Amino acid sequence: MRHKRGLVLNPRDNVANVLEEIRPGETVELRLDTEILSIKATEQIPFGFKMAIADIAVDAPVIKYGEPIGRASQPIERGALVHVHNLAGARGRGDLRTKGEEKL
Amino acid sequence: MEFLGYVRPDGSVGIRNHVLVIPGGLIAEKVCAFVPGTKTIAMARSGGGMTSRDRETIARTFFGLGLNSNVAGVILHSGSPGSGYPELRTERLASEIARSGKPLATLDVDAEGGTLEAITKGVKLARKMVYEASRLRREPVSIGRLSLGIKCGASDPTSGMVGNPVVGYVLDRVVEAGGTAMFGETTELIGAEHIVAKRAVNDRVAEEILQAVGFIEERALATGEDIRTMNPVPENIAAGLSTLEEKSLGAIYKAGRHPIQGVLRYAQRPAAPGLYLVDSWMGPNSIFPGFAASGAQLTLFQYGGGATKRTVLDPSPAVAAPLLWTSANPATYARAKESLDFYSGTVIEGTETLEEAGERLLSLIAEIASGTLTRGETIRYTEPIEAYGIDPLF
């Protein structure tokens, strides 16, 4: 039986991109260069979206391309969907700069 | 690898053979309507009420397009409202374009006796110029004579995974052969600027990269808004990109691996071949004509398109240069097949390696450079353009 596929872009990454629509409970074969990691998805993951390949604690960095792309805003389980509901970007946050000050 | 191009008097090589009538406006449009083989610019800003640095940007855009090696000859008229400013005087623009040695005619609207008379004279000049251009012939030259300008847009996860790396491979090959490549979109370096700065050829260029990114991030912060509500754009998020950092880290793959020789201002021409960052805004109607003014004979749009429904993709806003559309997204390919020049999703599907797709794209570029049309060149439409203005209008 052919497994669904995904890609890990860098050995330091804790997320992978799936290359097809993933249903909960499906095992995804993630390719990192020549290595294959098999991970079971705990929820639905649309084509091209990210799946966690390790548990990620709240405020821990989410790493893709070997670099931080933001921090977990919720605890993230291995196999879970990672997107704006549990991942927060850190740059260009003009909203945080004005936090605590009176908005005009 | 070679292509067939028009060798111009200054040794630069064109992949097309246009006669350019500039600046834009009524006179230029009517001359171009009369004479096939001509092009002009559709741009609302003419320099009026703009700061000197923004007027100089418009001047660079005008004479840069005139200097582009795809342009066989130029007709420069004095009828633009901006031509009263020192940067934009007809004589100044003419002296810049004259450096190329290409056929150049200036059209003094007042001396001709008015608008209609200037149009008549312009038609006579243009007919002669396009006829002479038609007598030029292409000759074989190396792909190292190419200058490419690239942008990624409507990015989705296929952009960072495959689409941009395939373009980066092509840029590497062209730069290795002695050519030039330019990328830009300064906002979308936020989160990846430390990586890009490390690729700078020296400390000065590294500092310029960090300054350009710092300047734009500071402007974003000063708005008091969360940049995630501006860029990534909604269609990036709908397609799976979660943060600006993630978008930027995927975007930089389009620049390949060569050292960055310098940071150019909008429409600034590089002094030597190599890879350059152009400090610019991501809007296609701005960045592509800017690349052409900087000397690019061919522009590329690496398109994600994962959350869009577009079936027809725009012709080139670059005026003097065609636009090649490429995508790695299978859904985009299925939806907009007739508008895409290149599909690299084969690498996602596993039927091609990244290198194989890159070589295939490079071969297509050589064909397009030799005269094969891009899909956009089969549509008659004048894209309005916008030079990159930094300052307010007065």
DSSP B382: -
Closest-CA distance of chain B to residue A62, Å: 10
User: Stretch B327-336: mean pLDDT, rounded?
Assistant: 94
Digit-coded pLDDT (tens) for A5-27: 999 999 999 999 999 999 999 99
How would residue A98 be classed by pLDDT, with cut points 50, 70 and 90? low
In which element (H, E) is residue B107 found? Answer: strand B104-107
Digit-coded pLDDT (tens) for B138-170: 999 999 999 999 999 988 889 998 999 999 999
User: Stretch A46-61: mean pLDDT, rounded?
Assistant: 96
Is the pLDDT at B223 greater than 90? The verdict is: no
User: Stretch B349-354: mean pLDDT, rounded?
Assistant: 93
**B34: its two tokens:** 């009369």
User: Stretch A31-54: mean pLDDT, rounded?
Assistant: 95
Query: What is residue B291's predicted lDDT score, i.e. its pLDDT?
Result: 98
Query: What is residue A78's predicted lDDT score, i.e. its pLDDT?
Result: 98
User: Stretch B60-65: mean pLDDT, rounded?
Assistant: 98
How would residue B264 be classed by pLDDT, with cut points 50, 70 and 90? very high
**A36: its two tokens:** 């294959």
Closest chain A residue to B346, measured at CA: A19
**A37 within 8 A of A5, measured Cβ to Cβ:** no
Mutate to test the interface with B, among A65, A84, A98, A102 (most CBs of B within 10 A): A65
| % residues pLDDT > 70 (chain B) | 100
Higher confidence at residue B219 or residue A1?
B219
Residue with token string 């096939």: B36
Digit-coded pLDDT (tens) for B83-122: 999 999 999 999 999 999 999 999 999 999 999 999 999 9
Closest chain B residue to A6, measured at CA: B348
Closest-CA distance of chain A to residue B211, Å: 15
When mean pLDDT is compared across A90-99, B48-57, B208-217, the lowest value belongs to A90-99
Report the length, in residues, of chain B. 394
User: Stretch A63-82: mean pLDDT, rounded?
Assistant: 96
Closest-CA distance of chain B to residue A64, Å: 7
Is the pLDDT at A102 greater than 60? The verdict is: no
Query: What is residue B220's predicted lDDT score, i.e. its pLDDT?
Result: 87
Using the Cβ of B233 and the Cβ atoms of chain A, whether some distance falls under 8 Å is answered with no
Using the Cβ of B225 and the Cβ atoms of chain A, whether some distance falls under 8 Å is answered with yes
Cβ contact, residue pair A69, B157, below 8 Å:
no
When mean pLDDT is compared across B3-12, B227-236, B336-345, the lowest value belongs to B227-236
Can you list the positions of beta strands (E) in chain B? Answer: 2-7, 13-14, 18-22, 38-39, 71-77, 104-107, 139-142, 147-153, 180-183, 260-264, 274-278, 298-303, 323-327, 342-343
Rg of chain A on CA atoms, in Å: 16
In which element (H, E) is residue A18 found? Answer: strand A15-18
Q: What is the mean pLDDT of chain B?
A: 95
When mean pLDDT is compared across A52-66, B102-116, B151-165, B265-279, the lowest value belongs to B151-165
Is the pLDDT at B345 greater than 60? The verdict is: yes
- Shortest CA distance to B263 belongs to which of B298, B301, B216? B216
Closest-CA distance of chain B to residue A13, Å: 12
| % residues pLDDT > 90 (chain B) | 89
How would residue B341 be classed by pLDDT, with cut points 50, 70 and 90? very high
Closest-CA distance of chain B to residue A27, Å: 18
Mutate to test the interface with B, among A10, A19, A30 (most CBs of B within 10 A): A19
Cβ contact, residue pair A48, B158, below 8 Å:
yes
Using the Cβ of B249 and the Cβ atoms of chain A, whether some distance falls under 8 Å is answered with yes
In which element (H, E) is residue B288 found? Answer: helix B284-293
Per CB-CB distance under 8 Å, the chain B contacts of A51 are: none
Higher confidence at residue B188 or residue B127?
B127
Cβ contact, residue pair B242, A98, below 8 Å:
no
- Name the residue among B158, B220, B243 with its Cβ closest to that of A94: B220
Query: What is residue A96's predicted lDDT score, i.e. its pLDDT?
Result: 82
User: Stretch B264-271: mean pLDDT, rounded?
Assistant: 97
Query: What is residue A103's predicted lDDT score, i.e. its pLDDT?
Result: 34
Is the pLDDT at B225 greater than 90? The verdict is: no
Name residues whose C-beta falls within 8 Å of residue B7's C-beta, 6 or more positions apart in sequence. Answer: B13, B139, B141
Query: What is residue B233's predicted lDDT score, i.e. its pLDDT?
Result: 86
Query: What is residue B8's predicted lDDT score, i.e. its pLDDT?
Result: 98
Say what the ipTM of the complex is.
Answer: 0.92
Mutate to test the interface with A, among B236, B246, B253 (most CBs of A within 10 A): B246
Higher confidence at residue B234 or residue A39?
A39
Digit-coded pLDDT (tens) for B31-40: 999 999 999 9
Higher confidence at residue A68 or residue B223?
A68
Q: How far apart are CA B254 and CA A79, in angstroms?
A: 29
User: CA angle B63-B68-B71, nearest 5°?
Assistant: 105
Q: How far apart are CA B44 and CA B58, in angstroms?
A: 11
Query: What is residue A48's predicted lDDT score, i.e. its pLDDT?
Result: 92
Query: What is residue A1's predicted lDDT score, i.e. its pLDDT?
Result: 66
